[in-house]
Amino acid sequence: PLRVQVSPLTQIVDVGRSASLRCLVSGSPIHSVVWLKDGVPLAELENGPSSSPRFQVGPREVLKLVRVHPDDAGMYQCLASNDFTTGQDSSQIRLGSVLPELVYRFSEQTIQPGPSVSLKCTAVGNPPPQFTWTLDGFALPESERFLVGQYVTIHDNVISHVNITQARDEDGGLYACQARNAMGIALHTGRLNIY
């Protein structure tokens, strides 16, 4: 019978670094060895090593991930088969630290005094980033008209917003949202113009 063992069982990899998984197959005959990620075939090893820009399969069924991308997190499965039987084992790659990245930014607005205004930024990163907001380079005014909120979605997006009720002309200026974690900072600035 074919027996398959993938090592390591779990790996935590920082984005941009490389990672390797080894598939040890015992038993015979071995007709094919296939790597899958989340159930989708990556490469077939019947005709020797094959490669793609991010995934390289080398001798002895070693799968190398070159410059890990956020999309590379998931379950990797090694599947060996012959005419009579198949064997498989799997390994999980989880992301380590990831620089914050802004995936949504508020746009510049021009309004009359009076209405409410909402400015929003959304970021991803690991550990999840924390937001700070500034107006013209300083902390937001201490006012009950300014409400700052932040929450995390089920997809690990961090959403932060500034809600300003009854906007006044002095609320205009250059607003900045800054997402920060242990890896670094992502920043967006945009102007709120009030007549």
Asked if pLDDT for residue 190 goes beyond 60, the answer is yes
CATH topology of domain 98-194: Immunoglobulin-like (2.60.40)
Q: Which CATH architecture has domain 3-95?
A: Sandwich (2.60)
Burial class (CB in 10 A: 0-12, 13-18, 19+), 142: exposed
One fold for 3-95 and 98-194: yes
User: What are the structure tokens assigned to 82, written together?
Assistant: 């012959």
What pairs with residue 35 in β-bridges? 43, 78
Q: How far is CA 56 from the centre of its chain?
A: 22
What pairs with residue 147 in β-bridges? 163
Q: How far is CA 68 from the centre of its chain?
A: 11
pLDDT of residue 81: 93
pTM higher than 0.95: no
**Phi, then psi, of 63 in degrees rounded to 5:** -100, 120
Provide mean pLDDT across the span 16-28. Answer: 92
Q: Where are the domains of the chain?
A: 3-95, 98-194
Q: How far is CA 108 from the centre of its chain?
A: 27
Tens-place pLDDT, residues 131-187: 999 999 999 999 999 999 999 998 889 999 999 999 999 999 999 999 999 889 999
pLDDT of residue 146: 97
